[in-house]
A and B are shown apart, each in its own frame.
Chain A
Amino acid sequence: MVKPLLMTLFSSSEFWAAVGQKVRRPMEYLIATYRTLNVRPEASPAFKQDGGRPAFARGLRQVHDKLRQLGQYPMGQPTPDGYPDVYVAWTSAGTMVSGWNEAGDLLAGYRTEFTFTPADALVARPPATAGAYVDALAQRLVHQKLSAKEKALILGVAGVPAGAKVDATFNGAVTAVARAILASPQHHLR
């Protein structure tokens, strides 16, 4: 009984047209960001244990505080219908900026309670030119190629042309470039 149902569902054009119509809510945005940056539960070497709670507990507390600040956190909405899933509820300037800043903090390596892939190691063998590096980062972070216009905008963050020679740190701009990609509609829409 389930199989034909799923077949009908997956073969309908409405199903596939639904991709990218909804905006990720804060919790979804945060989880997606943590996942794509490959955050893992072990503390990073830079973490300084100064007594008190262990790194993991502290890290989770931090995530929870952030979610509270964003207004969506586990068990925060007790009704069976759950948090509203319409973007107007979640897209005030403060909420959006706060989400982008969390991505910025992670990429800059401030969340030492967890291990994660450093920004300059997100792409295994970074291409030597800026344009190709942006393509590789987009593939790695949002799993798709950016349009020419989008690519130009992202290159604009680092202020270099597509043909410019760059190192693994995107000449120092990799954190800013990767964050801009994580603030794109590709990462925000689901």
Chain B
Amino acid sequence: MEKTVHSFPLHPECPDVRRLADDPAEALLRAEADVVAAESAAERDRYRRLEDLEEAQQDGRGVTRRTFVAGAAATATALATAQFVTTSASFAATRTGTLIHVFLYGGLDGLSLVAPAEDPVLAKARPDLLLGDDSLALGRGFKLTSAFAPLEKWLRAGQLGFVLAVSDERLSRSHFQAADACNLGGLPGETGGRGWLDSLVDALGKGTAFRSVGIGSTLPRSLVGNNGALSINNVGSLKLNGEEKYRAATEKAIRGLFTGINHPVQEAVIDGMAALTTAQKLSARPYQPAEGVEYKGVGSAFQQLAQLIKGGANVRVATVGMGGYDTHENQGTRPGGQLHRRLNELATALAAFFTDLGDSAADVTVMVSSEFGRRVASNGGGTDHGHGGVVTVLSGRKLAGSLLGTWNGLNDLDSGDVPEYNNMFNVYGSVAQGRFGLTNAEVDRIFPRRKYTPMKLYA
């Protein structure tokens, strides 16, 4: 289980960090301290809740179906062995389909991805960072960076859409705090330190050990919680080491040793062993993507997901992280520029992924977001931390349009940022709701202490 907020190195060059202290080492230390403080609060809440459950069990107060439905299903089940014979009891209907949350660490400059065409405010505030003439046309008078050209096919099919001006009042201009809130679906204290995807999994019913997967060596905050998410770098890495000839027998022995031990850990181990079997079956032969598909750069993470999804591992939620979006200087919005190249790498990977999935893509939705947007005005080559970012949705299910949500123009900026026209957690919730067919009440539970308002994203 992961304890760091940022899956990517801190940004030593980032003015945010430099402002914390004159000495760079000291500044990094202080930045870490901030992260740690946020984490501590989250962890405290989490621990207290688990303790309450344990106490309740010891007192014989029992766990009722109500506490189950209320949310902490897996924890309650696991701790309440006395009350439940089958520890995987689940009252939610089993769902199908996959939601992949791609997180762009560093704060994507949304206006370098999608921007209103011919906008006088942009022409004045960021003349050096306007989208090029080679941009693709979007609905409602917007244009899309040419870096996303590999995804044109899905744009035309109505499966690629963008929500602009996405933010939440909880997001500060600190990478650490904002990334944390985005991944938790609220402040640490509000969500009890649980990731939003982990809470979402509560509503998805029974599943396999691959139900929630983070591609990487540590779990992102969005998957931390009660549902035993798996973090793997690649499918083949999930196996027992040592000599091949003893492997199968060792797995059998471990499964046997943990069977009938009258301890709830039994179930976790047996589930884990099943995951090993699946992973080995899938990685027995080198993965062969569909004809003509080549995975490059961040694409390798999507290749693992394609392998799992096509192999029938029943992935419900998954995460992919990509760094390098903190573009204070040398931003490069246009072709040949730094940001353009990076966005192109992402679009190429997504196109490869959806081509490779073929018909299975119909059940997959990819949501790309970042911790915050950047300021509207150029700082003379780059942009600084701001708000009102862009969320990209690529879905097997047809969308309501290529430009989604509310947009009221750039005439009234919010302290130099794109105002919050669309709430981030309403966007998250609506993407998940449409993917899994959840009720408003089910989505509401994912984001505690805020009222969920559905948005029209899907056709």
Tell whether B54 is near chain A: CB-to-CB under 8 Å: yes
**Residues of A contacting B: mostly:** helix
Q: Is B253 touching A86 in the complex (CB atoms < 8 A)? A: no
Contact of B3 among A77, A88, A92, A93 (CB under 8 A): A77
Q: Is A84 touching B47 in the complex (CB atoms < 8 A)? A: yes
Contact of B79 among A23, A86, A93 (CB under 8 A): A86
Contacts of B241 in A (CB 8 A): 101, 104-105, 108
Contacts of B228 in A (CB 8 A): 88, 91-93
Contact of A97 among B43, B239, B252 (CB under 8 A): B239
Please name the residue on chain A nearest to B39 by beta carbon.
A78
Q: Is A180 touching B253 in the complex (CB atoms < 8 A)? A: yes
Tell whether A32 is near chain B: CB-to-CB under 8 Å: no
Contacts of A179 in B (CB 8 A): 242, 250
Tell whether A175 is near chain B: CB-to-CB under 8 Å: yes
Tell whether A34 is near chain B: CB-to-CB under 8 Å: no
Q: Is A180 touching B254 in the complex (CB atoms < 8 A)? A: yes
Tell whether B226 is near chain A: CB-to-CB under 8 Å: yes
Considering the chains assembled together, what is the distance between the CA atoms of A78 and B79 in angstroms?
Answer: 26
Q: Is A157 touching B253 in the complex (CB atoms < 8 A)? A: yes
Among the 9-residue stretches A1-9, A42-50, A52-60, A182-190, the one with 4 or more Cβ atoms under 8 Å from chain B is A182-190
Please name the residue on chain B nearest to A159 by beta carbon.
B249
Contact of A153 among B238, B252, B272 (CB under 8 A): B252
- Per-residue contact bits, chain A 86-109, to B (CB 8 Å; 1 contact, 0 not): 111111111111001100110010
Tell whether B397 is near chain A: CB-to-CB under 8 Å: no
Contacts of A86 in B (CB 8 A): 50, 54, 75, 79
Please name the residue on chain B nearest to A179 by beta carbon.
B242
Considering the complex, which residues of chain B in the window 9-65 have a beta carbon less than 8 Å from any beta carbon of chain A?
A: 36, 39-40, 43-44, 46-47, 50, 54
Q: Is B240 touching A101 in the complex (CB atoms < 8 A)? A: yes
Considering the complex, which residues of chain A in the window 1-31 have a beta carbon less than 8 Å from any beta carbon of chain B?
A: 20-21, 23
Q: Is A100 touching B1 in the complex (CB atoms < 8 A)? A: no
Please name the residue on chain B nearest to A92 by beta carbon.
B228
Q: Is A153 touching B256 in the complex (CB atoms < 8 A)? A: yes
- Per-residue contact bits, chain B 232-275, to A (CB 8 Å; 1 contact, 0 not): 10000011111100100110111011100101110011011101
- Per-residue contact bits, chain A 137-180, to B (CB 8 Å; 1 contact, 0 not): 00000000000011001101111000000000000010110011
Shortest Cβ-Cβ A-B pairs, 7 listed = A93-B272, A176-B246, A91-B268, A71-B1, A93-B275, A153-B256, A153-B253
